[in-house]
Amino acid sequence: MESSEADRVAHLIHEAGVLKLLPRTGWSYCGISSPESIAEHSFRTALIAGLLAKAEGADPARATYLAVWHDTQETRVLDIPHLGRKYLDAASNETVTADQVSGLPEDVAADVRALIHEYESAESPEAQCARDADKLECLFQAIEYRDAGARNVGGWIETSRSKLRTKAGKQIADAALSQESSQQWHAEAIRS
């Protein structure tokens, strides 16, 4: 790796760190004053993607990798709520990613560009699992906010559930909806 490429890799890593500081903005419509960050959302989305892929017979590592990168563009365009998107003519995630990875070693840049294309096209089983994981994470977060006293999250739960495509994703959503968000965690903590 040349020095200039190492500089670009370091820059991209610093840029990705911004995701830890950027809140998921759509929750403000539900009155959530301190929502989780984009990085927190992406972390759990990646965990869900791996679990979901295993259940669906897809490659868990690939689905997890897709999920890790799925919102990295938001360092540049922020988390635009769906309501706001209808008024904007924003660059595609593929365009933003191409800019983010310019100057990286070409094999790395090509891999990331292909990864984002795969996620956006949602044709592979792994991409379908990663996309369902994104919806499931939102559903779980909405349930947790609801159980903590937030109102107006029902629409998020319904919309997230309705967009699931995988059988395992639908089953996990139904299981999540049948329990309190902290129920299992509290039972485990008491037993310890």
Angle between helices 125-147 and 60-69 (to 10 degrees): 60
Domain CATH code at residue 90: 1.10.3210.10
Q: How far is it, in rounded angstroms, from Cα 142 to Cα 135?
A: 11
The pLDDT profile of the chain, 192 residues, written as one tens digit per residue, is: 788 888 999 999 999 999 999 989 888 888 888 999 999 999 999 999 999 999 999 999 999 999 999 988 888 876 677 777 778 777 888 998 999 999 899 999 999 999 999 999 999 999 999 999 999 999 999 999 999 888 889 999 999 999 999 999 999 999 999 988 775 665 566 666
- Domain limits at 181? 3-191
What is the model's pLDDT at position 184? 61
Residues ≥6 apart with Cβ < 8 Å to 62: 53, 124, 126
Domain count along the chain: 1
pTM for the full model?
0.90
